[in-house]
């Protein structure tokens, strides 16, 4: 019993290091991994701990009591969720980047233009209904008045990407930044045909720690020029 | 009082051991109690009969029953080889058979993509398209469920008396006929128990299925996949479906209570 207690304590805090739990959307995987290592290099006493998943999974975890210091969903709309607001009344959220929904196909695919994706018999992957990229996909499909064939509803944008990357799915819908992260393996097909603009989302971030500590400092770092530079390198739009 | 009395001649159980056992039991019971308390009892029927749910139930039944049948067709022969044959590499075979028991199912799913995926080892060669199909979901469930059947049947075979088979042989029965008419009937209860366990494991399968077969409503979206997604959008539906799975699990264990842990 005592041994277990010691093990738990040792695992949860090594001496003098402050941990900041950052809950970030799957689509921010590369951006926040890079921001984490830059921030930790500049602030040796701080350990940024990333929890990467679909935005609605993260929101659910936070509402159910997960100890998040920072929340960065793929769609800033998730920061105004009523359950979240009732828990964190002081929440201040900032939109720090934009992202664009695109279609992707395996790099060697015969599918060239958007219309090719509406052929019958294809296997397409996309985010599930409640995930930000799934909501964006639904809105785009509605606006185009088209329907797709069989679609695998994935829990987050990165599993959509993986299945197209491996060539197991014929195509999928992800954010441009996800597609760029695998540009050797997937080809982008833009969705801005027929006179409509590509669907976009605003990426937001909020400090949930309610104190003037390292969490707030990390959020400031994400919003800084260095943060903006990291994000634009990865293909995020200006906010 | 008599129900709680100790077996004759048994020593009293020390208090510390009773306390630890009680704590362990609480660890198992508290989540179940939480589930039962949070469950949306008032509109349970409505939540369990909407069209999406019934579709997931249908896919789950097709996938789990098919997986139990495939596990039996392949698993009983594997168990027979493990119990009766002697050859080099037998322990390796047993490891291969049991590895899905300990491997995280998501790893099984990833491995299946590289093996059976359309750009994987077999798929590429044979032009198979298994991922994102019901057949793919059945294969994933079979791989994780078969070890339960193999272990159950192998254990039973080891406990049968080989003299029955020898006697049948001495009476002129050919090997396959001997196997079908003498060996199989002797282990029938264990085969049935193994099938039910394999079916239950297949019914609960999540990781390998979502990784290899994706999450296509009506095709590969089984109940556990539906629960996982619903939990983030409609938690009360996830709770209702969880209750359904719990009821099935309890029914299986009650049906198997003498098989899983032999009662003395």
Count of alpha carbons within 13 angstroms of residue A2, beta-carbon side: 0
In CATH terms, the fold of domain A2-98+202-233 is D-Maltodextrin-Binding Protein; domain 2 (3.40.190)
Task: Name every chain A residue with its beta carbon within 8 A of the beta carbon of B132.
Answer: 123, 150, 152, 168-169
Where does residue A214 rank: exposed (0-12), middle (13-18), buried (19+ CB within 10 A)? buried
- For chain A, the straight-line distance linking the first and the last C-alpha, in angstroms and rounded, comes to 51
Query: Could you tell me the domains of chain B?
Result: 44-260 (1.10.3720.10)
pLDDT tens track for A52-61 = 998 999 999 9
Task: Name every chain B residue with its beta carbon within 8 A of the beta carbon of A55.
Answer: none
Is B221 touching A (CB cutoff 8 A)? Answer: yes
**pLDDT value at position A3?**
54
Round to whole Å and give the CA distance between A158 and A27: 7
Q: Which residue has the higher pLDDT, A5 or B45?
A: B45
Residue A152 to chain B, least CA–CA distance (Å): 4
Task: Name every chain A residue with its beta carbon within 8 A of the beta carbon of B31.
Answer: none
Please indicate whether, in this complex, the C-beta atoms of B214 and A54 are within 8 angstroms of each other. no
**pLDDT value at position B1?**
44
Residue A188 to chain B, least CA–CA distance (Å): 21
Q: Which residues contact B94 (CB under 8 A, 6 or more apart)?
A: B82
Q: Does position A12 have pLDDT exceeding 60, yes or no?
A: no
- Both tokens of residue B226? 């539906």
Residue in chain B lying closest to A53 (CA): B232
pLDDT tens track for B179-236 = 888 888 989 999 999 999 999 999 999 999 999 999 999 999 999 999 998 887 788 8
**pLDDT above 90 covers what percent of chain B?**
61
pLDDT tens track for B242-252 = 999 999 888 88
Strand (E) positions, A29-184? 46-53, 70-72, 93-106, 123-127, 150-154, 171-175
Please indicate whether, in this complex, the C-beta atoms of B215 and A152 are within 8 angstroms of each other. yes
pLDDT tens track for A182-226 = 999 999 999 987 677 788 999 999 999 878 889 999 999 999 999
Is B217 touching A (CB cutoff 8 A)? Answer: yes
**pLDDT value at position A91?**
84
Round to whole Å and give the CA distance between B226 and B216: 10
**pLDDT above 70 covers what percent of chain B?**
94
**pLDDT value at position B172?**
83
Please indicate whether, in this complex, the C-beta atoms of A155 and B210 are within 8 angstroms of each other. yes
Q: Does position A1 have pLDDT exceeding 70, yes or no?
A: no
Q: Does position B239 have pLDDT exceeding 60, yes or no?
A: yes
Query: In A55-102, where does DSSP find H-type helix?
Result: 55-63, 82-87
pLDDT tens track for B76-109 = 999 999 998 888 989 899 999 999 999 999 999 9
- For chain B, the straight-line distance linking the first and the last C-alpha, in angstroms and rounded, comes to 20
Q: What is the mean pLDDT of residues B105-127?
A: 90
**pLDDT value at position B182?**
87
pLDDT tens track for B126-153 = 888 899 999 999 999 999 999 999 999 9
Q: Which of these, A200, A196, A180, A212, lies nearest to A75 by C-alpha position?
A: A200
Task: Name every chain A residue with its beta carbon within 8 A of the beta carbon of B233.
Answer: 56, 128-130
Task: Name every chain B residue with its beta carbon within 8 A of the beta carbon of A154.
Answer: 214-215
Mean pLDDT of chain A: 89
Residue A229 to chain B, least CA–CA distance (Å): 33
Is B34 touching A (CB cutoff 8 A)? Answer: no
Domain regions of chain A by residue span:
2-98+202-233, 99-200
Round to whole Å and give the CA distance between A150 and A32: 32
Residue A140 to chain B, least CA–CA distance (Å): 20
**pLDDT value at position A65?**
87
Round to whole Å and give the CA distance between A44 and A16: 10
pLDDT tens track for A121-178 = 899 999 998 889 999 999 998 888 887 878 999 988 999 999 999 999 999 999 999 9
Confidence of residue A2 (pLDDT cuts 50, 70, 90): low
Task: Name every chain A residue with its beta carbon within 8 A of the beta carbon of B229.
Answer: 128, 130, 153, 155
Q: Does position A5 have pLDDT exceeding 80, yes or no?
A: no
**pLDDT value at position B255?**
82
pLDDT tens track for A78-134 = 999 999 998 887 788 899 999 999 999 999 999 999 889 988 889 999 999 888 999
- Partner residue opposite B228 with nearest CB, options A129, A155, A167: A155
**pLDDT value at position B84?**
87
Residue A122 to chain B, least CA–CA distance (Å): 11
Please indicate whether, in this complex, the C-beta atoms of B214 and A128 are within 8 angstroms of each other. no
| Two domains, one topology: A2-98+202-233 and A99-200 | yes
- Partner residue opposite A169 with nearest CB, options B132, B210, B219: B132
Q: Which of these, B65, B64, B85, B83, lies nearest to B186 by C-alpha position?
A: B83
Q: Any bridge partners for residue A203, and if so which?
A: A97
**pLDDT value at position B264?**
46
Please indicate whether, in this complex, the C-beta atoms of A153 and B113 are within 8 angstroms of each other. no
Q: What is the mean pLDDT of residues B168-177?
A: 84
Is B233 touching A (CB cutoff 8 A)? Answer: yes
**pLDDT value at position A239?**
81
**pLDDT value at position B6?**
56
Residue A204 to chain B, least CA–CA distance (Å): 20
DSSP letter for each residue of B66-85: HHHHHHHHHHHHHHHHHHH-
Residue A106 to chain B, least CA–CA distance (Å): 12
Q: Are A207 and A219 in contact (CB under 8 A)?
A: yes
**pLDDT value at position A207?**
93
Q: Are B97 and B147 in contact (CB under 8 A)?
A: yes
Task: Name every chain A residue with its beta carbon within 8 A of the beta carbon of B134.
Answer: none
Round to whole Å and give the CA distance between B141 and B201: 8
Residue in chain B lying closest to A130 (CA): B233
Q: Which residues contact A124 (CB under 8 A, 6 or more apart)?
A: A117, A148, A149, A150, A151, A152, A169, A170, A171, A172, A173
**pLDDT above 70 covers what percent of chain A?**
93
In CATH terms, the fold of domain A99-200 is D-Maltodextrin-Binding Protein; domain 2 (3.40.190)
């Amino acid at each position: 019993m005592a041994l277990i207690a010691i093990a738990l304590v040792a695992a949860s805090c090594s001496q003098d290091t402050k941990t900041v739990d950052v809950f970030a959307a799957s689509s921010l995987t590369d951006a926040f991994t890079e921001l984490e290592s830059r921030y930790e290099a500049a602030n040796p006493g701080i350990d940024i701990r990333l929890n990467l998943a679909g935005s609605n999974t993260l929101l659910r975890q936070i509402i159910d009591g997960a100890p998040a210091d920072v929340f960065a969903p793929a769609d800033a709309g998730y920061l105004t969720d009523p359950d979240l607001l009732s828990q964190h009344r002081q929440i201040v959220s900032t939109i720090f980047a934009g992202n664009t929904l695109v279609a992707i196909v395996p790099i060697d695919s015969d599918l060239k233009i958007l219309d090719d994706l509406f052929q019958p018999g294809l296997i397409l992957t996309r985010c599930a209904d409640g995930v930000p990229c799934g909501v964006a996909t639904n809105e785009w499909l509605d606006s185009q008045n088209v329907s797709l064939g069989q679609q695998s509803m994935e829990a987050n944008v990165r599993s959509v990407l993986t299945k197209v990357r491996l060539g197991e799915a014929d195509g999928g819908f992800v954010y441009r930044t996800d597609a760029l992260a695998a540009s050797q393996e997937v080809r982008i097909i833009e969705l801005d045909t027929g006179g409509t603009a590509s669907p976009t989302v605003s990426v937001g971030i909020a400090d949930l720690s309610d104190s003037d500590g390292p969490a707030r400092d990390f959020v400031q770092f994400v919003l800084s020029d260095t943060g903006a530079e990291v994000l634009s390198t990865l293909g995020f739009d200006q906010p | 009082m008599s129900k709680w009395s100790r077996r004759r001649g048994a020593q009293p159980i020390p208090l510390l051991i009773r306390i630890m056992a009680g704590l362990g039991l609480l660890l198992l019971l508290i989540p179940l109690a939480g589930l039962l308390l949070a469950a949306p009892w008032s509109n349970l029927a409505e939540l369990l009969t909407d069209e999406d749910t019934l579709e997931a139930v249908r896919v789950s039944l097709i996938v789990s029953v098919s997986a139990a049948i495939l596990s039996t067709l392949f698993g009983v022969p594997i168990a027979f080889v493990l119990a009766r044959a002697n050859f080099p590499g037998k322990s390796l075979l047993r490891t291969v058979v049991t590895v899905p028991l300990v491997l995280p199912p998501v790893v099984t799913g990833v491995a299946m993509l590289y093996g059976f995926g359309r750009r994987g080892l077999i798929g590429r060669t044979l032009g198979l398209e298994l991922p994102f199909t019901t057949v793919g979901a059945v294969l994933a469930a079979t791989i994780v469920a078969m070890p339960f059947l193999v272990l159950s049947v192998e254990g039973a075979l080891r406990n049968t008396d080989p003299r029955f088979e020898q006697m049948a042989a001495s009476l002129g029965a050919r090997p396959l006929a001997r196997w079908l008419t003498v060996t199989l009937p002797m282990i029938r209860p264990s085969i049935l128990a193994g099938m039910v366990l394999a079916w239950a494991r297949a019914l609960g399968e999540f990781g390998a299925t979502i990784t290899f077969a994706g999450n296509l409503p009506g095709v590969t979206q089984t109940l556990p996949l539906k629960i996982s997604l619903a939990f983030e959008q409609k938690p009360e539906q996830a709770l209702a479906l969880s209750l359904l799975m719990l009821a099935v699990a309890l029914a299986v264990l009650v049906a198997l209570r003498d098989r899983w842990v032999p009662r003395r």
